[in-house]
Structure 1
Amino acid sequence: MLPDKIPALKGDAARAFRAAIRRADPALAMRESLGQHPLPRPAHGCRTIVLALGKAAPAMLRAVLPRISGPRVMICVTHRENQEQVPGAEVYRAGHPVPDTVGAHGAERMREVLKSAVAGDVVIALISGGGSALLPAPPDGVSLEDKQTLNRLLLDSGLDIVAMNLVRQQVSQLKGGGMLRLAAPALVTAYILSDVIGDDLRAIASGPSVAPIGTPEQARDLLHSMGLFNRLPESIQRHLRNAPRANANLTARNHLIGGNRESVQAAAEELRPDYEIHVIEDPLTGDVNEAVCKTFRTLRDVGPSDKPRAILWGGETTVQVRGGGLGGRNQELALRMAALADAEPIAAPWVFLSAGTDGRDGPTDAAGAIVDQNTLARIRGKGQSPTEYLDRNDSNAALRLSEDLLITGATGTNVADVQILLIG
């Protein structure tokens, strides 16, 4: 074991992660896409309506501004940590991952503008990750507080993003194609930065410009199967029992401008001169306990090499919260990786990074963590039990003790998560 190599490995992992974030730069992705898919023009005397939503919304909107002429309406809803300014736009900085009143006001303003659209107007939707929670538009009879309760239950359930958005779409006036229904007969063109593994447009920001993932009946069945339906507010239970199926025939021009795969490749290219590179095509998804077994098996089973190795994944895991601690899926994954490697030590020096490209993992100030074979020893050295932290889902506190948190601040983008395993 050569522990003196660990700081250099950690520096390389952090450098590669920064490369992944740069590749997901929303302004760059927007400009490249507009070269292939120019903005449509409204009819004479009509408006361009630009609705930007998600964690990358300000940067995407700024990239579009120079290409808009004539009458316009511009609304931007992003998360409160993103302080980027957008001249001429109404900007709402809302709560995430739990919706708040600012997001509700932004959603209502978007609904008003969409309902005012006429056939000659064009609607430009700039969609990025986080838009689902940032833009609550509950149906009649459902309060914002009820939507907040729904979101908290879904976030703690262990459901993946597609399943969560199946439910969210059925309790919204904007999600699951709601933007198209409100804008009709105006044309909608969407530019979408994906935070969903596999780039299912129906799941990104809960799919405001595409047909819904499922039906109210399917949402009810899913919630019943998870034991969540009877825990929902009565208004949402009633709505899901009575909601009609949405019209799935409306279409938009949807353009995917970037996603997780491109960012993982950018991280790999950053490391390529010094490392033997392996990009794992099978993403890290599903329950964090299953995902960590894959990452640890990769570390344990790696063979000898004349060159340091870099193994990279993209993904988005889930955590079924059972304790009252503070953390996020990336911190949980990293701490569990360190625990498995502590129980079955590996001779070669290694580090493991797991982080969200938006710079925020769960309700914490960390993007994720970079752990190594000494992580648990550092926690124990401060008189604490790593197992107790894991039992209460308190990965943030544990990784703060071991000084392994990765803190980037809000990045202004979001293309899901990146995992990097470096072996010296």
Structure 2
Amino acid sequence: MTKKAEMRALAQRLFKAAVDAADPALAVREYLRSHPPAKLPAGGHYIVVAIGKAAPAMLREALLHVPGPVTALGVTHHENAQQVAGASILTAGHPVPDDAGFDASKRLIDLLSSAGSDDRVLALISGGGSALVPAPIKPLTLADKQMVNRLLLESGLDIVEMNMIRQQLSELKGGGLLRHAAPASVTALILSDVIGDDLRAIASGPTVSPLGTRQKAIESLTQIGVFDALPQRVKTALLSEDKRDPVPEGKNHLIGSNRQSLDAMKSAVPEGWTARIVCDHLIGDVSDAARQIIDSALELKTDGPTALIFGGETTVQIKGSGRGGRNQELALRVALQGDELPEGWVFLSGGTDGRDGPTDAAGGLVDDSTLERMAQANADVVALLANNDSNKALAAANDLLITGATGTNVADVQVLLLP
């Protein structure tokens, strides 16, 4: 194996360490072993619901610890379809909501609404839940929510701002799950895919108070110039008074995060290497993030083999019709500036859920020969990037990071390896 091949393999091992550290089953197990679920009062039963990309794994583990009788329902993305003994698992579209998600949200609301004061609800929340259970407020339609979601994904807004807007239009987001479960008590175990771990933003906060108000949503949408492009029903809803009941109190517990995965990557760096977590909040536009990564390598003036580790969730402004995602575009942008780095560098950027944008790739794995391979494949990198077609560009160099669905999600991780 060549030195370059060894470094590329190391980058992939570090990515796997990040994913393994976000194992949702292990996180649920550790929490419920130290905090056993309370016994039910006479006549009561447990309702266990799981929403997000880690739903099956979290639900499977939780059912080993929750006393019966139990009714369990999970909603995850189509690519993560799997059976869980004792539970119904529904699949839905992500990142764009679909009819299956619309139907799943109705099933979820019906189940929660059946809870009484003697029942207990355990909610297992992970990233991706926002799109998986769209549940539009009346009189909005699924098509309305899909249009809003598309505009938000193309806007360049960060995930917190997007989820603040989504909360105003949903029956389940921004504490909506608590409303539908009342009067039953609700405990939520949350796996964070949001940098900073604001529980109100993870899966759009179904078990916590909302991030903002309808007026704040209008201001954000107006600022990015898309309010007028919204469906008329959405504009009318945002301009009307929110008369929903106050959000009941819930018990929320964070059981996993991006920072834990970064620590695991650092621990997995082999002996003889220097390992540094440079930034655990890599956010903003991918062009700025790529520049930050390059500058970090230049400023640190590393001596000997070094692994520079980053984590966060960047954004992409969609200006073309190509396919890609924030991790693929970030990797491509680093490759385009890689001539500033020492010869022999390798860079990986990947989503811990195994999916980056509407593609089958988790991200990109590039090195100092990536541009040469693209040229040999007659790929016009600049034109592809201008069309947001990072997937095609990376595929030309055989530099796509493809892992399949991982069953977890704690945002994105990056590593720059310097020889």
TM-score category of the 2 structures, normalised to the smaller one: over 0.9
Structure 1 residues 311-356: Cα deviation after superposition (integer angstroms, max 9, x where no partner): 10110000010000000000000000011124xx433311110000
Q: Is the contact between residue 351 and residue 372 of structure 1 (CA under 8 Å) also seen in structure 2?
A: yes
Partner residue, 2:96? 98
RMSD: 1.4
Partner residue, 1:177? 175
Q: Is the contact between residue 294 and residue 341 of structure 2 (CA under 8 Å) also seen in structure 1?
A: no
1:315 to 312, 316, 324: 312
State the AA in 2 paired with 1:394. Answer: D
Q: Is the contact between residue 81 and residue 89 of structure 2 (CA under 8 Å) also seen in structure 1?
A: no
Matched, 1:414 2:409: yes
Number of aligned residues: 419
Partner residue, 2:55? 57
Superposed displacement of residue 282, structure 1: 4.5
Matched, 1:138 2:136: yes
Q: Secondary structure at the match of 1:219?
A: helix
2:418 to 412, 415, 423: 423
TM-score (norm 1): 0.96
1:165 to 163, 187, 210: 163
State the AA in 1 paired with 2:49. Answer: L
Paired residues for 1:100-115 under 5 Å: 100-115=98-113
Distance 2:302 2:233 in 1: 59
Superposed displacement of residue 247, structure 1: 4.8
Superposed displacement of residue 272, structure 1: 4.2
State the AA in 1 paired with 2:359. Answer: T
Distance 1:230 1:95 in 2: 26
TM-score (norm 2): 0.97
Distance 1:41 1:204 in 2: 28
Q: Secondary structure at the match of 1:411?
A: coil
State the AA in 2 paired with 1:151. Answer: N
Q: Which moved more, 1:239-248 or 1:249-258?
A: 239-248
Distance 1:282 1:418 in 2: 9
Structure 1 residues 205-248: Cα deviation after superposition (integer angstroms, max 9, x where no partner): 00000000000000011101111111111111111111416555
Structure 1 gaps of 5+ residues are: none
Q: Is the contact between residue 74 and residue 88 of structure 1 (CA under 8 Å) also seen in structure 2?
A: yes
Partner residue, 1:390? 385
Structure 1 vs Structure 2: percent identity of aligned residues?
Answer: 52
Structure 2 gaps of 5+ residues are: none
Q: Check 1:245–1:216 CA distance in 2 against 1; reply closer, same or farther (3 A cut).
A: farther
1:29 to 27, 30, 34: 27
Superposed displacement of residue 125, structure 1: 0.3
1:338 to 326, 332, 335: 335
Distance 2:243 2:295 in 1: 45
Distance 1:28 1:53 in 2: 17
Partner residue, 2:360? 365
Paired residues for 1:205-354 under 5 Å: 205-244=203-242, 247-248=245-246, 250-305=248-303, 307-342=304-339, 345-354=340-349
Q: Is the contact between residue 24 and residue 415 of structure 1 (CA under 8 Å) also seen in structure 2?
A: yes
Q: Is the contact between residue 355 and residue 361 of structure 2 (CA under 8 Å) also seen in structure 1?
A: yes
Distance 1:349 1:222 in 2: 43
